[in-house]
Amino acid sequence: MSAKILEQTKEIAALRESLRSAHRRIDDLVKVADSMHELSKASAAMAIEVRLLAQNVTGIAEKLDTVRQEPANSWRALVTSLLGAAAALAAGVMLGISIY
């Protein structure tokens, strides 16, 4: 074999090895791209779940405020009734005194 053929054979072998290496790197990059795609899908699903969770928390907070207001409303009604009864009693006493 001549020196030129031997040199070309070595170059072809080096190119084949370089090509194999490039294919391995490309395969690795494809795996990374697939992983990133899956991650983006998971992130989108998580964003939807967080949004739904925030809506649920808002609903629960509104219901909690309603529950907290019930005792205050009961006390207001009691005080209003007592004041009304006291005013009626005072008016009755005044009318009773003015009649005699």
Angle at 77 between CA 72 and CA 80, to 5 degrees: 125
Structural domain count, the chain = 1
Residue 76 is assigned to a structural domain of this protein: no
DSSP designation for 41: H
What is the tens place of the pLDDT at every residue in 26-63? 999 999 999 999 999 999 999 999 999 999 999 999 98
Angle at 66 between CA 65 and CA 72, to 5 degrees: 95
Kindly state the tokens that stand for 14.
């080096």
Residue 28 is assigned to a structural domain of this protein: yes
Residue 47 is assigned to a structural domain of this protein: yes
Where in the sequence is the domain holding 58, given as residue range(s)?
1-70
Residue 42 is assigned to a structural domain of this protein: yes
Residue 2 is assigned to a structural domain of this protein: yes
The whole-model pTM stands at: 0.50
